[in-house]
Chains A and B, each alone.
Chain A
Amino acid sequence: MTVIAHIATYWTVNANGENEPYFVGMMTGDKWADVTGTVSPPPDPNTIVLEAIIDDLTFNTVSSDNDLYVMWDAPNPRPPDDIPGAAEFGLLRAYLAQNGWKQAQINQAIGQGVNGRNRRQIADELRTYIKGLTP
């Protein structure tokens, strides 16, 4: 099964000295694109949201990796147009905090509560905020 997902992760430098998202190292028959578009990555805090089209084996690996956070995926289990629960929203806030975000930045980027937004809307707001960050 093929899964499309928006995934938060961070920029790293590969063995050839190239900047690329952490996710790339675990690709097999998959593809991805930067859907954040930070002009000069990495931003501070170092975060990117990427879109990946991956098989379910890679998806399972991604889902269990603490350096990656699946913001939504299609098909299940996190459909983009569904509203996440408070616990899931808390996991996103915790992920960002663990990656160097200050609470004030998290609040500015995605707010303090879900407030009726679906997963796609929250991911879009996070991408917009990251794009405005400078290195």
Chain B
Amino acid sequence: MNLVWLNAVRASSTTVNYLVRDTFTISNGVLINSRSPDIDVVGGGWIFDAGSFSGSSSKAVAGSAQSLAVINSGQADVTVADRMTVLDNTNNRGIALRRTSATNYWRIDLANGTLYRIVQIQAGSPIVRASAAVSYSVGASANLRVVASGNTITAYVSINGGAETSISYGSATFNNTATYHGIYSQTATTNDFHDNFEVYL
């Protein structure tokens, strides 16, 4: 009887094991790679693969087009979350996943104001593996969450706190042991803000 009770307590007290967490609580204009995230288990900090990101109202904004920043979480099978404020409807932004170089990684993005997608960037060439329609307007808050497990990548999106919808790709052998994850913006400052970036088990 006691054993049953103990198991019930354990099941109801699941904790999140953060590998990376960054709320970007920094002064405007400060580069995110110039300081330590709130949690950085490996300890390498942010790396700019392309462009840059800096603080703006305690969020991260891109400094130039095609900005890509990554951080080593030490794990490939993870959940990555990013809260974005989307300030245009014509460009792409999102999460970078399982990156080995600036031209080899996965991108889970909100695209063109109409879609969210799972995109494989292989030798710099984008391959769209899954997408779904999503509707959002300028100023929308988008919670993007990605679960990478073995050869399956599942992306969840919620707009303005609404219900999550999901897409999944089940043959993600490309870069499936890569441990760097991060944020991406197609265009520069003021088009979108990244906040509350998390990598956890």
Query: Which A residues contact B (CB, under 8 angstroms)?
Result: 14, 16-21, 24, 27-37, 39-41, 131
* A48 CB, min distance to chain B CBs, angstroms: 10
B residues 168-201 with Cβ under 8 Å of A? Answer: 168-171, 173-174
Decide: B169 and A34 in contact? CB cutoff 8 A: yes
For A20, what are the chain B residues with a Cβ–Cβ distance below 8 Å? 127-128, 131
**Residues of chain B in range 67-124 having any CB-CB distance to chain A below 8 Å:** 115, 118-119, 122
Chain B positions within 8 Å of A19 at CB level: 125-128
Cβ–Cβ < 8 Å partners of A21 in chain B: 128
A27 engages B133 (CB within 8 Å) = yes
**Interface residue? B35 (CB, 8 A):** no
Listed A/B pairs (16) with beta-carbon separation below 8 Å: A18-B119, A18-B127, A19-B126, A19-B127, A21-B128, A27-B133, A30-B133, A31-B167, A32-B132, A34-B129, A34-B171, A36-B171, A37-B170, A37-B171, A39-B174, A40-B122
Chain B residues lying within 8 Å of A31, measured Cβ to Cβ, are 130-133, 165, 167
CB distance from A18 to the nearest CB of B (A): 4
Least Cβ–Cβ distance between B94 and chain A, in angstroms? 14
Q: Could you tell me the distance between the alpha carbons of A31 and B119 in the complex, rounded to whole angstroms?
A: 14
Name the CB-closest residue of A to B124. A17
* Besides the known contacts A31-B133, A37-B171, 5 further A-B residue pairs in the complex with CB atoms under 8 A apart: A19-B126, A27-B133, A31-B130, A31-B132, A37-B170
**Which residue from chain A places its CB closest to the CB of B171 in the assembled complex?**
A37
Please indicate the chain B residues that have their CB under 8 angstroms from the CB of A37 in the complex.
Answer: 170-171, 173
Which residues of chain B are near A27, meaning CB under 8 Å? 115, 131, 133
Q: Which residues of A contact B122 (CB under 8 A)?
A: 40
- Of B122, B126, B128, chain A has the most CB atoms within 10 Å of the CB of B128
Q: What is the CA–CA distance of A31 and B133 in the complex, to the nearest angstrom? A: 6
B128:A24 contact, CB within 8 angstroms: yes
A29 to B132 Cα, complex, angstroms: 7
